[in-house]
Amino acid sequence: MNRLQISLSGITLANPIIPASGTYGFGDEFAELYDINCLGGISFKGTTREARYGNPLPRIAECGNYGMINAVGLQNPGVEHVIAHELPRLKSHYNGCIVANVSGFSVQDYVETCALLDKEPIDILEVNISCPNVHNGGMAFGTSPEAAAEVTAAVKAVTTKPVYMKLSPNVTDIVAIAKACEATGADGLCLINTVLGMRIDIRRRRPVIANRYGGYSGSGIFPLALRMVNQVACATSLPIIGCGGVSSAEDVIEMMMAGATAVEIGAANLTNPMVAKEIVDRLPALMDELKIEKLTDIIGIVNHE
Amino acid sequence: MKQLTFEIKTNEQIAKNVYRMQLCGDTTGILPGQFVNIRVEGQFLRRPISVCNIADGILTIIYKVVGVGTEAMSRLPIGTQLDVLTVLGNGYDLSKAGDKPLLVGGGVGVPPMYMLARQLREIGKNVRVILGFNTKDEVFYEEEFRALGCDVTVTTVDGSHGVKGFVTNALDGKQSYYYTCGPLPMIKALIQAAGTNGEVSMEERMGCGFGACMGCTIQTTQGPKRVCKEGPVFPAEILIL
């Protein structure tokens, strides 16, 4: 028996660990350091209908020891290039669950990109309605239940793949948005994306990030992410991929106890490129210590009173 | 990319706000123009620092204290074990040097020129070096480059040491090719004045430093390029400055 095994919408993952989109590229850099087949899944770099350069530089600001702000702005080569080049390469050396992260600037963008990916060897569509770094972009869809529902329904109509909506924390009521996605047919949810933030260079008297604001990620957002995962887990019956500030095996257990079925590792990959493998390796001993027989036993366990 | 542990052998100030650190560890595979990315206790992001030299299992880096991370680095005692990513970036293309390559370093753009100069001297090139600084308190490595047998000119903006003015004041246009690293205004002026092809090491604020985050991507005439992965060294003619 594989004690770490979990399942998302009928897809079996050897363990719940998935590097988060935008922090792992297509895995090439990490494959130089370790065999990436140890990972339950990989959520590849956010992909749009057309190629994008993204935002002006600087795109990165550090936030002490707890995180960073990024305003990359969905730099990617476009879905057709991804299908022709990146996906075959990833597929050739990775056997686990491939999560295709998709962004758009209109409902039509999402529909076309997801329709193209529907014919490809990906396992899950992760529909990003929560990127804080593009004007008129994904986050606008993730900040109202009506818009989130519209994207969910439109994407579901053009794909047979499981559709997981990636939600923004930059909202008043994430539960209302989660419920809207559930009501319109989402197969699962992924939360949270980055938290809109800012840093100022006090010597130059101007924002550090050229785009002024960016997405704050890293261990500093873990409590916020955990709270939102728990709220959504209590209010919907969809499987949840928990994400936000996870940087240790302990954080993974905590996220699963809050209600996550799988767990994405984001900014931590950028500072310790070995972290995802280290977490996978550490989990069995930690489970022994915590008397957890198998990980599926603890999903949402704090909600079972 | 490799993730390795290095031990600090020396960590000393060599000019105003500028420190040299010598690190003991596995230096195999490191090329001139590449950089290392160092984890500093108390900081979320690593600090990317250009490689100044490798010799006998010792990695030398020279860094300027510009913020909390490099300030913390300057206080690290001898014997400290550091988590370092090495073999990052592409490095300079020595095959383009020609007979009389010119190396131009400005400020903390000087260090990567040292290993390049050493390797070019080892293959018998006549290496001319121009080192640009603001003032004499900031000057470092003038004698080290001379000891390699390079023809060295130092410029200072205030004229307190060497030739007064900018690195472009010391150009003679007789180089076969140039290699440079330094502040953007210097690079722009050099590309304008050089009269030959050359290559430039770019500096940008990085997230990961190994190609995953897209934090440091610049636009070039050949499309978007990650400074940390496809760079930091680019042919001057493809840069959009």
Amino acid A209 reads I
For residues B111 and B31, the answer to whether their CB atoms sit within 8 Å is no
Chain A nearest-CA distance from B208, in A, is: 5
Is residue B27 within 8 Å of residue B36, measured between CB atoms?
no
Burial of A155 (0-12, 13-18, 19+ CB in 10 A): buried
The answer to whether residue A131 is catalytic is yes
Judge: B3–A33 Cβ closer than 8 Å, yes or no.
yes
Cβ–Cβ contact A45 with B under 8 A: yes
Contact between A53 and B208 using a beta-carbon 8 Å cutoff? no
Q: Smallest Cβ distance to A25: which of B46, B206, B211?
A: B211
How many beta-carbon contacts under 8 Å exist across A and B?
A: 96
Marked catalytic residue, from A38, A97, A114, A131: A131
Give SS3 for B15: strand
Contacts of B205 in chain A (CB under 8 A): 57-61
Contacts B210 to A, Cβ<8 Å: 29, 273
Integer Rg of chain B from CA: 17
> Which one of A68, A267, A273 has the shortest CB-CB distance to B3?
A273
Both tokens of A173, joined, read: 């009521």
Distance from CA of B228 to the nearest CA of A (A): 12
State the Cα–Cα distance between residues B208 and A126, nearest whole angstrom. Answer: 23
In the predicted model, what is the mean pLDDT of residues B26-32? 97
A19 → chain B, closest CA residue: B212
Averaged pLDDT for residues B83-94 = 98
Residues of chain B with CATH 2.40.30.10: 2-88
Residues in B closer than 8 angstroms to A270, CB to CB, are: 45, 207-208, 212-213
- Contact check, Cβ <8 Å, B44/A58: no
Tens of pLDDT, residue by residue over A127-183, are 999 887 776 556 689 999 999 999 999 999 999 999 999 999 999 999 999 999 999
Tens digit of each residue's pLDDT (9 = 90 or more) over A30-77:
999 999 999 999 999 999 999 999 999 999 999 999 999 999 999 999
**Residue B164 — pLDDT band, cuts 50, 70, 90?**
very high
| Percent of chain B whose predicted confidence (pLDDT) is above 90 | 99
pLDDT tens track for A242-300: 999 999 999 999 999 999 999 999 999 999 999 999 999 999 999 999 999 999 999 99
Contact A59 B43 (CB under 8 A): no
Q: What is the DSSP letter of A44?
A: P
The encoded tokens of residue A50 equal: 């057309």
Q: Do B43 and A54 touch (CB under 8 A)?
A: no
- What tokens does A230 get? 């728990």
CA nearest to A201 within chain B: B67
- What's the pLDDT tens digit per position in A82-102? 999 999 999 999 999 999 999
Q: Please answer whether residues A105 and A137 qualify as being in contact, where contact means their C-beta atoms are separated by less than 8 angstroms.
A: yes
Nearest to B44 by CA among A270, A252, A265: A270
Q: Which of residues 5-44 of A touch B (CB under 8 A)?
A: 22-25, 28-30, 32-33
B232 contacts on A by Cβ (under 8 Å): none
Q: What does the alpha-carbon distance between residue A109 and residue A101 come to, in Å, rounded to a whole number?
A: 13
Closest CA to B85 of B1, B208, B204: B1
Does a cis peptide bond (omega within 30 degrees of 0) precede residue A16? no
User: Hey, which CATH number is domain A6-303, 3.20.20.70, 3.10.310.30, 3.90.1170.50, 2.60.40.10?
Assistant: 3.20.20.70
For B136-149, what is the mean pLDDT? 98
Beta pairing class for B81-88 and B58-64: unpaired
Give B82→chain A minimum CA distance, Å: 13
What stretch(es) of chain B map to CATH 3.40.50.80?
A: 100-181
Classify domain B2-88 at the CATH class level. Answer: mainly beta
Q: Which of B44, B85, B226 is the best substitution to test chain A (most A C-beta atoms within 10 A)?
A: B44
Q: How many CB atoms lie within 10 A of CB B143?
A: 8
For an interface test with B, the pick among A52, A60, A65, A131 (most B C-beta atoms closer than 10 Å) comes out as A60
Q: Which residues of A207-217 are buried (b: 16+ CB within 10 A; e: fewer)?
A: bbbebeebbbb
Region B71-91 average pLDDT: 98
By three-state DSSP, how is residue B206 classified? coil
- Position A1 scores a pLDDT of 80
Measured between beta carbons, which residues in chain A are less than 8 angstroms from residue B211? 25, 28-29
Pick one of 1.10.3230.20, 3.40.50.80, 3.40.50.300, 3.10.450.50 as the CATH number of B100-181: 3.40.50.80
Phi, psi of A111 (to 5 degrees): -60, -50
The Cα–Cα gap between A239 and A169 comes to: 18
Give the relative orientation of helices A145-156 and A107-118 as an angle to the nearest 10 degrees: 30
**Minimum CA–CA partner of A24 in chain B:** B212
- Mean of the pLDDT values across residues B133-143? 98
